[in-house]
Amino acid sequence: MERRRYTAGRIRPPHGPRLIAALAHEHARIPFTLRDVRDSARRVVYVAERLQLQATLVRGALDVGGAELDHVWAVVADRVVDVPLPLRSDAFVEALRAYIAGDIEPGELERVADAYALDWRVVGEFPHGVRYYGAPFWISRAGNRPG
């Protein structure tokens, strides 16, 4: 499949509010973390499927102001859902750029990320200067859970 650039935008009602509430419940149950980004993306797909929304896992690049990271995220209702990364926090974005440059260790980046609640994470909307490029590698089908 061809790589594409994903754009930011709200997930429209009724799907957006329902998805955010379900993700908040899942995050309270077991927090989405950087320790296993792929598992977090799979859990997003599972939550979306329970709401009868089609979801896709995407592998590609996350560009944060010119610093690029190989990454995996979910797309639900044609919008990026990337819950391990609190990209709405300037402090986290600076820590992520330092991590990409090799200036901080993964554990330090995880500690910064863990301090932020779900509303700091990407559910459709993401900050200016952040870009997602990638191609789907798994698309949900009714009742199937990614492996």
Instruction: Assess if residue 50 is contained within a domain.
Output: yes
Instruction: Assess if residue 83 is contained within a domain.
Output: yes
Instruction: Assess if residue 144 is contained within a domain.
Output: no
Number of domains in the chain: 1
Quickly count: other Cβ atoms within 10 Å of residue 60's Cβ: 22
Instruction: Assess if residue 91 is contained within a domain.
Output: yes
pLDDT of residue 142: 45
> Band of the pLDDT at 2, cuts 50, 70, 90?
confident
Which pLDDT tens digit goes with each residue over 43-69? 999 999 999 998 999 999 999 988 899
Per the prediction, the chain carries an average pLDDT of: 91
CB neighbours of 23 closer than 8 A, spacing ≥ 6?
A: 44, 47, 81, 83, 118, 123
Distance CA 73, CA 85 (A): 10
Question: What is 47-68 written as a DSSP string?
Answer: HHHHTT--EEEEEEEEEETTEE
Instruction: Assess if residue 21 is contained within a domain.
Output: yes
Helices (H), the chain: 15-29, 37-50, 90-100, 106-114
pTM of this structure: 0.88
